[in-house]
Structures are given as structure tokens and as C-alpha cells.
Amino acid sequence: MSDPRLSSSDELLQGIADDVKEMRVRENSAMRKIAELERRGAAAEFGYKKLAQVLRDAVRWDINVAGQWVANSGLLSSEITPTGSELAPELPLTAEAAAEGELSIAHVVEIAKAMKKLPAEHEATVVDYARQFEPATVRKLGARLAYSLHQDDPEPAEPKPERLVNRHYSRRRKDGYLEVKALLDTATGAAYEAALASLAKPRPDTGEGPDQRDRSEREGEAFAELVNLMVRADQLPEHGGEPVTLTLTMSYDDLANQTGQALLDNGERIPADQVRQLACNAGVIPLILGGQSQPMDIGRKTRTFPAGIRRILVARDRGCAFPGCSRPPRHCDAHHIQYWANGGDTSVDNAVLLCRHHHTLIHQSEWEVKLVHGIPTFYPPPWLDPERKPRRNQFHTAV
């Protein structure tokens, strides 16, 4: 093995990727052996009730980890019937990708969970997610795909769920503090999060150094400030370029007919009857859409994005547009695709919503973003994908 200190950063990173791929190939080999032991009922040969218990002692896995390996080995291995015929694996495309070293055990776990709610023909889509993203994102995208397929299914004939009731609990502690706890319905919770986020941002550096408060302290002080603001009945400060706003997205016909659901800017959904109730106490901001349902530009060229343009970006991007990111609009900045300093204008056609992390990444790395047919499209750096195949965020696509 060559000395890592003599390799370039690109070579080290590629070496890690190659090593992990080889590790995954060997993991797949181990799973095939586990599947064969399970098929033989080999646990009894060793004096155990379950194969997971054998593996716990043989390779020192936690029992739940060993159980996962046994369960997933059955998904990826073919079976032999009593007549000698070979049956394909339960998840054949997953088995193929795992054999290539493209998937980790954690990926297989999330694919298996997703496929319990999806028809078999969608396995290729979920496996493609796993080839691009980490397991947590595969889980979210799989759940989203299941929702998109089943959202128009007839509602099950079950009793209407009991209406959520907002609850507030408090107790005075011996040290003088008031301890507060609340249980909020979906819409109220989203509004609360939006208000709190506007006040809990780290303080700007005023010459005394960066804000040293942790998140709990910042949000605690923001809650106190929120109470004071309500007592004074003053308007909340601006956040993201405009006053704190709870954004709901749904078609006008659904709202008028009181059907379907609305999408909150935190990704949650609420039924139309709650939307109509909220609309009684809020103005309606119409957006003019183009032929492909893309929000149109409202003009106005300034360096900072005005509230009107930001509203359109929120309606179009629905949150951070970076592939695999689920951060909501309130955590996002509007980014000039062509930098302002390079002549880029402040318009919808030259903007994309990015969370702070991915905004920094776009500025400091080889990731590129362009609008393709009005949709933010990202191109990975060559070290990640030599072909630089375009990627899009599938979390915020309308379903």
C-alpha cells in the first residue's frame, strides 16, 4: 500500500470510494453465505434457535444488526424450490446493485422498507435513489414516491380521525423558571416554527466575535422575544426578505371545492377545510403561472431579492433545490445563478433557493446549477461523477 501522504486529495478520495465499493462487494458475499446458512436451518446445527444469535457470537454483532443481515440476505438471494427450481431474489435489481458494490447494508434496509409500500415495477426507481444518495434520503424519497402513487386512492372506510386539539402545559419550578410544553396541530406548529426561526438566527458579529449561543439557548431567547412581541402587539421582524409568512400551496379549484390537501412550506400537508379556515384570516397572494406551470418573473432588478421574487421562488422550488435536500424555504437563501458581480440580474430566471450549507457549497466547490426548462438542475463535480449527469431535487416536486 502506498503512503497516503504522497497522494493528492483527489487520489485519496477516489481510493476511499474504491475501498468502500470493495467492502460492499464483500458484504454482499457475506450475505449470500448467511442466506445459505438460513436456508439450511444451520442455527440448530450450532445449538442455537436463530441464526442471528449464531452471528452475534461468531462475528460480535449486536443482535439487532445480526437480525438485519439475516433478513436482508433473504431479499437478495435466490431460493431453491423442493423440485430444484431456482427462484429469483425478492428484490432482483437491489441484489444486482449490491453485487456490484453500489449499495451498503443500510441502503438495502431502506429499499426493502420502501418496496413494502410500492409495486414491484418501482424497484428500479428506488435503487436509482440509492445509487445517488445516502440511506436517510432514500427513505424520504421512497416515502414520497409511495405518497405520490397513492394520494388519489379512495379513502379507507374508517371513522373520521378526531380533530387535533392544541394543548399547552406549564409549571412553575422552584428556581423561579416557568417550564412550558405545548402540543400543536400541524398548521399551528408550522406557523410557530416560522415565527421562532425568524428570531432565533445567530446574532451578527458586532466586533465581539461570533454568536456563541447553542441552538436551544437561541430558540429559548427567541421564544421569550416572541412573547414580548405579542404583548406589545408589534409586527414580527422580517425573515427571508419579507414578514414572517405561512405559505400554503394548492390549486384554486381544490380550495374552492374544499377537496384535496395543501402543502405547507415545511413539507407537511393539511386538509382543504383547514386551509379555508386559515384563508379567512389571511390575504391570498396570486401567482401567475406560465404554460408549463412555472411561476413567471415579476421584474425588478436589485441586488437583494425583494419579497415578491422570493415568493415566486418559494412557489417554484418549495425549499432548498439541491438534490436530496429537504430543508424548507424559511431555511433558504436566494442565490444568483450568474453572480451579481458577473452581471447576473436579480430575477426568477437567475435565482434558486439554497439552504445555507448548499449555498456555501455552490460557491466553494465544482458543483454547478442551471435552470433547465425553468427547473433548477445541478451538475456534480467530475470527481463525484465523471460524466456530470444532471440531478434534480425530487423532494419538492409537485405530487
Tens-place pLDDT, residues 74-113: 777 765 544 545 456 788 899 899 889 999 888 988 998 9
For residues 41 and 58, is the Cβ–Cβ distance under 8 A?
no
- Shared domain check, 253 and 350: no
The answer to whether residues 298 and 383 belong to one domain is: yes
Do residues 320 and 331 make contact, with C-beta atoms less than 8 angstroms apart?
Answer: yes
Low-confidence winner among 17-31, 64-78, 131-145, 158-172 (lowest mean pLDDT):
158-172
Q: Are residues 138 and 12 in the same domain?
A: yes
- 71 and 126 inside one domain: yes
Nearest-5° Cα angle at 116, 110 to 121: 95
What pLDDT is recorded for position 135?
92
Residues 296 and 228 in one domain: no
Q: Give the gyration radius of the chain's Cα atoms.
A: 26
- The mean per-residue pLDDT over the stretch 364-376 comes to 91
Q: How far apart are CA 259 and CA 250, in angstroms?
A: 10
What is the model's pLDDT at position 81? 47
* Confidence at 302, pLDDT banded by 50, 70, 90: low
Average pLDDT over the chain, rounded to an integer? 79
pLDDT band for position 345 (50/70/90)? confident
Output the CA angle 36-40-41, nearest 5 degrees. Answer: 115
Q: Is residue 263 one of the residues assigned to a domain?
A: yes
> C-alpha grid cell for residue 88?
429469483
Q: Is residue 161 part of a domain?
A: no
DSSP 8-state symbol, 348: G
Asked if pLDDT for residue 281 goes beyond 50, the answer is no
Residue 261 lies in a domain: yes
Contact by Cβ (8 Å): 273, 314: no
**305, 313, 379 from 318: Cα distances, Å:** 16, 7, 20
Q: Are residues 273 and 353 in the same domain?
A: no
Q: How far apart are CA 393 and CA 376, in angstroms?
A: 8
Report whether pLDDT(189) > 50.
yes
Least confident of 62-66, 293-297, 330-334: 293-297
Separation between Cα atoms, residue 364 and residue 370, nearest integer Å: 16
Kindly state whether residues 26 and 134 are assigned to the same domain.
Answer: yes
pLDDT at 163 over 70: no
> Has residue 196 been placed in a domain?
yes
State in Å, rounded, how far the first CA of the chain is from the last one: 50
pLDDT of residue 172: 82
Detail the DSSP E strand segments found in 228-343.
238-239, 242-243, 248-249, 261-264, 269-271, 332-336
**What are the helix (H) ranges across the chain?**
9-40, 42-45, 51-59, 63-76, 92-99, 105-115, 123-132, 135-150, 186-199, 215-232, 252-257, 272-279, 307-317, 356-364
Task: Yes or no: say if 368 and 379 are a contact pair by the CB < 8 Å rule.
Answer: yes
Q: What is the pLDDT of residue 301?
A: 41
Query: 376-386: per-residue pLDDT in tens?
Result: 999 998 888 88
Residue 208 has pLDDT above 80, yes or no: no
What is the sign of the dihedral through the CA atoms of 54, 55, 60 and 66? negative
What is the predicted pLDDT for the residue at 368? 93
Co-location of 97 and 77 in the same domain: yes
pLDDT(151) > 70: no
Residue 104 covered by a domain: yes
User: Rounded distance, CA 51 to CA 45, Å?
Assistant: 10
- Looking at the fold, whether 106 and 58 belong to one and the same domain comes out as yes
Instruction: Report how far residue 50's alpha carbon sits from residue 279's, in angstroms, rounded to the nearest whole number.
Output: 58
The DSSP secondary structure of 33-67, one letter per residue, reads HHHHHHHHTHHHHTT-S-HHHHHHHHH---HHHHH
- 121 pLDDT band (50/70/90 cuts)? very high
On the question of pLDDT at 312 being above 70, the answer is yes
- What is the structure's pLDDT at 351? 92
What is the spatial distance between Cα 338 and Cα 345, in angstroms, rounded to a whole number? 8
Which whole number is the average pLDDT over 67-80? 77
**Weakest mean pLDDT among 30-39, 285-294, 368-377:** 285-294
Domain encompassing residue 228: 167-201+214-241
Does residue 341 form part of some domain?
A: yes
Q: Are residues 258 and 340 in the same domain?
A: no
Q: Does residue 66 lie in a domain region?
A: yes
Residue 144 and residue 8 share a domain: yes
The count of domains in the chain is 4
What's the pLDDT band for 234 if we cut at 50, 70, 90?
A: very low
Q: Report the alpha-carbon distance of residue 399 to residue 396 in Å, rounded.
A: 9
Indicate whether 207 pLDDT > 90.
no
Q: Please check whether residue 389 lies inside any domain of the structure.
A: yes
Task: Clarify whether residues 24 and 141 are in a common domain.
Answer: yes
For the ranges 10-14, 183-187, 233-237, 244-248, the maximum mean pLDDT occurs at 10-14
Beta carbons of 159 and 151 less than 8 angstroms apart: no
